[in-house]
Structure 1
Amino acid sequence: MAIIKLSAIERRRLSAFVTCLVIAIVAWMFTTLSNPYKFTVKQVVVFKNVPQKRAFHPLQPDTVNALVQGTGWQMLMFRMNDEKKAITVDLHTLDTKNYVVLSSQLKQINAGRDMEHDIIALTPDTLFFDFSSRTVKRVPVELVQAINYQKQFAQSDNVNIKPRYVTISGPAEMINKIISWKTDTVKLNDANEDFYGRVKLQGVKEGNLSVLPKSVMVNIPIDEYTEKTIEVPVKLVNNHKYYDVKIFPQKVKVTFTTSLTNYPDLNEDDFEAVADLDLWRNNGYTVLPVKVTRSPSYSKVVKIMPQNIDFIIKK
């Protein structure tokens, strides 16, 4: 392959040519991108001043096409950023009409944006709405949680939410399907103490729904757990013919986990252990297994000793 050898003067000339070419291209791009252009972008529609006495349902998608006046730089940034921006539409006219004309709100729409360019037109220019009677309903708050507890720690009592109910309002056909309203997720790692704080409710996805209040106070009791063993009397069930039955032993040892706060207060009255005589009558069991049918909330039975009891039936 032939190698072109350039003299020192030719290399300087070539370097100067390349430099001038690059400068010319950059200057051309800067000048071109500084010129004004009109271009179309997608805009998400959000509503304000929604009617309080009329429920509504938009008859078009939640996005519109906006014709924007801006520089080439701004157009380039829009093309590079796929995130759809939002425009706020005032619905105060829906108290008397079933449509909103966007062109009549262009001035306030542009005033509410933090962009350096203005929207010239919106397509569609008119938004139409379907109306139905508005219903009000109280539903319980449903806590969403993702809690990772530190070793030997766990929730020790019922979650306390204030207020326990929220008020939702909107179209009857939508309200009737809602049985609770969820909170944002409470996320805790290595939790080892009570959680108490304000948690936001999940936002509404439909513009014709409203939820009050927007947040609740949540208290999640968290405590350290340990094991405790107590003796619990065994209760014989399904003795339909009232046989004279003697069981041995009459008490079993129940080992369970409980919070340190509840540890001193728990006794045999908080538990119920049963043996089912139907297992002998229907299945021929010679010993009866023992089951714990009642135990305190947030306690977990670890083992029962003995697991089976002997019995004698006197006919």
Structure 2
Amino acid sequence: MKQKKPSKLSAFFICVLIATLLWLLHSLNTVYTKQFSIPIEFKNYPQNKLMIEIPKEIKVSVKASGLKLLMIGLTEPFPVLRVDLNDVKSDASRSKFYLSSKMADVKKMFQFKADIRRIQPDTISFINNEGTQKEVPVKVPLSINYTKGYTAKLIKVDPARVVIAGELADLDDIDTIYTLPVSLNDQRTDLVKTLTLINPNNKIVINATAVELHISVGKLVEKEISVPIKLENADEHFKYSLFPSKVKVKYSGVFGESGADSSLLRVFVDLSQRKNNKLSVNMKLLSEHITVLSFEPKEVEFLMIKK
């Protein structure tokens, strides 16, 4: 009696299963770096000192095999790490406390041996209690050359503002915190980049060390739409008719799936500026990401009838 051979489909699934198992074994034995969040609390604050920002958690970068990282992840959420600032290494003035000196306590929270690469924040900063603080904007010295036919849909800095603290005399002349400059060429894709903040005075403290720059890039296209003309400074005792009542506008920009949208600009005539039954057409852009190439007509005629 002949033995039935496995079908091609069965053989295929067996191969897929073997390949998956081999991939899984490889992944579990490969070394990775992963970040875990650990809640943190402090006690025994130094006298006459004010902590700039009290972190609610620390980010711990751990380097280990995929299997160990998986097992560590299964123990989340982690218990609260309670830090006695009297036991933490600090500078001579007790203005800075270094959490890296508590590395042994952090390691105890993991049930498996792993290489801790980094703790963020690493340093807790204080100022004299009589100091002051204020909020200022963050600016990125940014130079971008886009690939031809592309431009920005959105440029955002997160956080857009930071808190600086220190003595009043040291804060007076600071109205902006800058990042390291960024120069991009031939840009055509979205970008997220972490940027270090520059402290303009080592006597002040900033509540963040870095920000994220988000750049969303889209393809630049031309559109032509018909936009109704709105009336400004109209006399409520009269009824007005415009000839024509719409303007054809040609403009370029980055558009979503909905395409060109008349809400991106406002077209209007000012009836207080009427001359010889004609009005000049005015235009106001409601988006900084579009450019008007042309529009017609530049003038319209009008008829006003008393109600």
Q: Does 1:267 align with 2:258?
A: no
**Paired residues for 1:121-140 under 5 Å:** 133-140=130-137
The percentage of counterpart residues that share the same residue type is 24
Partner of 1:246: 241
Checking the alignment, whether the CA contact within 8 Å between 2:223 and 2:252 is kept in structure 1 is yes
- 1:224, distance to aligned residue in structure 2 (A): 1.6
Task: Quote the Cα distance in structure 2 between the aligned partners of 1:163 and 1:295.
Answer: 25
Checking the alignment, whether the CA contact within 8 Å between 1:53 and 1:134 is kept in structure 2 is no
Task: Quote the Cα distance in structure 1 between the aligned partners of 2:186 and 2:48.
Answer: 45
Partner of 2:184: 188
- 1:162, distance to aligned residue in structure 2 (A): 2.5
**Paired residues for 1:202-281 under 5 Å:** 202-204=198-200, 206-240=201-235, 242-259=237-254, 261-262=255-256, 264-280=258-274
Letter in 1 for 2:150: F
Letter in 1 for 2:206: V
Paired residues, what number?
189
| Deviations, residues 249-290 of structure 1 (Å, cap 9, x unaligned) | 11111111121x42634333443210111112xxx3442111
Letter in 2 for 1:276: D
- 1:247, distance to aligned residue in structure 2 (A): 0.9
Letter in 1 for 2:139: E
Of 160, 163, 178, the residue aligned with 2:159 is 163
SS at match of 1:92: coil
SS at match of 1:178: coil
Task: Quote the Cα distance in structure 1 between the aligned partners of 2:251 and 2:159.
Answer: 34
Task: Quote the Cα distance in structure 1 between the aligned partners of 2:149 and 2:241.
Answer: 40
Checking the alignment, whether the CA contact within 8 Å between 2:223 and 2:260 is kept in structure 1 is no
- 1:197, distance to aligned residue in structure 2 (A): 1.1
- 1:226, distance to aligned residue in structure 2 (A): 0.8
Task: Quote the Cα distance in structure 2 between the aligned partners of 1:229 and 1:245.
Answer: 26
Partner of 1:307: 298
**Paired residues for 1:19-98 under 5 Å:** 53=49, 92=92
CA 1:150 to 1:285, structure 2 compared with 1: closer, same or farther past 3 Å? farther
CA 1:180 to 1:151, structure 2 compared with 1: closer, same or farther past 3 Å? same
Checking the alignment, whether the CA contact within 8 Å between 2:263 and 2:286 is kept in structure 1 is no
- 1:145, distance to aligned residue in structure 2 (A): 0.5
| Deviations, residues 133-160 of structure 1 (Å, cap 9, x unaligned) | 4223332322220112222222112x23
Task: Quote the Cα distance in structure 1 between the aligned partners of 2:269 and 2:304.
Answer: 14
What are structure 2's unaligned runs of at least 5 residues?
A: 1-46, 51-89, 96-127
Letter in 2 for 1:208: K
Partner of 1:21: none
CA 1:177 to 1:203, structure 2 compared with 1: closer, same or farther past 3 Å? closer
- 1:187, distance to aligned residue in structure 2 (A): 0.6
Task: Report the TM-score, using the length of structure 1 for normalisation.
Answer: 0.53
Letter in 1 for 2:248: K
Task: Quote the Cα distance in structure 2 between the aligned partners of 1:285 and 1:227.
Answer: 35
Q: Does 1:287 align with 2:278?
A: yes
Task: Quote the Cα distance in structure 2 between the aligned partners of 1:252 and 1:93.
Answer: 69
Letter in 2 for 1:275: V
Task: Quote the Cα distance in structure 2 between the aligned partners of 1:93 and 1:181.
Answer: 25
Task: Quote the Cα distance in structure 1 between the aligned partners of 2:267 and 2:173.
Answer: 41
Of 147, 151, 158, the residue aligned with 1:150 is 147
Task: Quote the Cα distance in structure 1 between the aligned partners of 2:145 and 2:297.
Answer: 34
Task: Quote the Cα distance in structure 2 between the aligned partners of 1:93 and 1:236.
Answer: 67
Letter in 2 for 1:139: V
What are structure 1's unaligned runs of at least 5 residues?
A: 1-50, 55-89, 96-130
CA 1:297 to 1:262, structure 2 compared with 1: closer, same or farther past 3 Å? farther
- 1:132, distance to aligned residue in structure 2 (A): 9.9
SS at match of 1:230: strand
Task: Report the TM-score, using the length of structure 2 for normalisation.
Answer: 0.54
SS at match of 1:156: strand
Checking the alignment, whether the CA contact within 8 Å between 1:279 and 1:285 is kept in structure 2 is no
Bigger radius of gyration among the two:
1
RMSD between superposed Cα atoms in Å = 2.8
